[in-house]
Amino acid sequence: MVSALGQPNLISISFFVIFVILTLGVTYWAAKKTKTSSEFYAAGRSITGFQNGLALSGDFMSAASFLGISGMVALKGYDGIIYAVGWLVGWPALMFLLAEPLRNLGKYTFADVLAFRLKQKPIRIVASVGGILVTITYSIAQIVGSGKLINLMFGLPYELAVLIVGGVMLLYVLFGGMIATTWVQIIKACLLLFGVTLLVILSMAKFGFSLENLFSAVETKFGRTALEPGGFASSPIDSISLGLALMFGLLGLPHILMRFYTVPDAKEARKSVAYATSFIGYFYIIIPIVGFAAAVLIGREQIAGIDKGGNMAAALLAELLGGTPFLGFIAAVAFATILAVVAGLTLAAASTISHDLYFNVFTEGRATEKEQVSVAKKATVVFSIVGILLGILFKDQNVAFMVGLAFAIAASGNFPALILSILWKNFSTIGGVSSILVGSVSATLFIIFSPTVWVDVFKFQEAIFPLKNPAIASMSLAFLSAFVFSKLFPDTNAIERYESEKVRVYLGVGAE
Dmax (CA) of the chain? 70
How many Cα atoms are found within 13 Å in the side-chain-facing hemisphere of 263?
Answer: 27
For range 489-499, the mean pLDDT: 91
Q: How far apart are CA 51 and CA 37, in angstroms?
A: 21
Q: What is the pLDDT of residue 231?
A: 64
Residue of 350, 348, 341 whose CA lies nearest to 373: 350
Phi, psi dihedrals of residue 228, rounded to the nearest 5°: -120, 155
Q: What is the pLDDT of residue 399?
A: 61
In the chain the first and final C-alpha atoms are separated, in Å, by 57
* Cα–Cα distances in angstroms (integers) from residue 222 to residues 295, 335, 409, 432, in the given order: 9, 31, 36, 50
Specify the range with the lowest mean pLDDT, choosing from 34-43, 99-108, 167-176, 184-193.
34-43
For range 348-354, the mean pLDDT: 86
113 and 276 Cβ atoms separated by less than 8 Å: no
- DSSP letter at 136 equals H
* Cα–Cα distances in angstroms (integers) from residue 350 to residues 132, 378, 380, 474, in the given order: 9, 8, 5, 27
For range 432-454, the mean pLDDT: 91
For 198-241, write each residue's pLDDT tens digit: 999 999 999 999 999 999 999 989 888 888 876 666 678 888 88
- Helices 211-222, 266-297: axis angle to 10 degrees equals 50
Q: What is the pLDDT of residue 401?
A: 61
For range 429-451, the mean pLDDT: 92
Q: What is the pLDDT of residue 495?
A: 92
Q: How far apart are CA 73 and CA 43, in angstroms?
A: 37
Alpha-carbon 493 to chain mean position: 35
Q: How far apart are CA 479 and CA 501, in angstroms?
A: 21
User: 433 pLDDT exceeds 70?
Assistant: yes
Residue of 425, 428, 422 whose CA lies nearest to 489: 428
Q: How far apart are CA 429 and CA 412, in angstroms?
A: 17
Q: What is the pLDDT of residue 339?
A: 79
Alpha-carbon 18 to chain mean position: 25
Alpha helices, DSSP H only, in 235-365? 236-250, 254-257, 266-297, 300-306, 313-351
For 273-305, write each residue's pLDDT tens digit: 889 989 999 998 999 999 999 999 998 888 888
How many Cα atoms are found within 13 Å in the side-chain-facing hemisphere of 287?
Answer: 32
Q: What is the pLDDT of residue 479?
A: 97
Rounded to two decimals, what is the model's pTM? 0.86
State the amino acid at position 416 in one-letter form. Answer: P
Contacting residues for 220 by C-beta, under 8 A, at least 6 apart: none
Specify the range with the lowest mean pLDDT, choosing from 33-47, 376-390, 443-457.
33-47
For range 405-433, the mean pLDDT: 92
For range 67-80, the mean pLDDT: 84
The more confidently predicted of residues 37 and 472 is: 472
Q: How far apart are CA 460 and CA 462, in angstroms?
A: 6
Contacting residues for 493 by C-beta, under 8 A, at least 6 apart: 117, 119
Q: How far apart are CA 127 and CA 302, in angstroms?
A: 45
- Report the range out of 4-13, 45-54, 335-344 with the highest average pLDDT: 45-54
Neighbours of 119 (CB within 10 A): 17
301 and 316 Cβ atoms separated by less than 8 Å: no
For 133-173, write each residue's pLDDT tens digit: 888 888 888 888 778 777 777 777 888 888 888 888 788 77
Neighbours of 510 (CB within 10 A): 10
The more confidently predicted of residues 503 and 433 is: 433
For 79-96, write each residue's pLDDT tens digit: 778 777 877 888 888 878
395 and 457 Cβ atoms separated by less than 8 Å: no
Percent of the chain with pLDDT over 90: 23
For 444-487, write each residue's pLDDT tens digit: 899 889 887 788 778 888 889 998 889 999 999 999 999 999 99
Percent of the chain with pLDDT over 70: 93
Alpha-carbon 288 to chain mean position: 19
Contacting residues for 345 by C-beta, under 8 A, at least 6 apart: 135, 138, 139, 142, 254, 255
Q: Does domain 10-34+44-393 have CATH number 1.20.1730.10?
A: yes
74 and 303 Cβ atoms separated by less than 8 Å: yes
Contacting residues for 212 by C-beta, under 8 A, at least 6 apart: none
Q: What is the pLDDT of residue 437?
A: 95
Which secondary-structure segment (H or E) carries 404?
A: helix 400-409
Q: CA-based angle 196:198:200, to the nearest 5?
A: 70
Residue 299: exposed, middle, or buried by beta-carbon count in 10 A (0-12, 13-18, 19+)?
middle
Q: What is the pLDDT of residue 174?
A: 77
Q: What is the pLDDT of residue 465?
A: 92
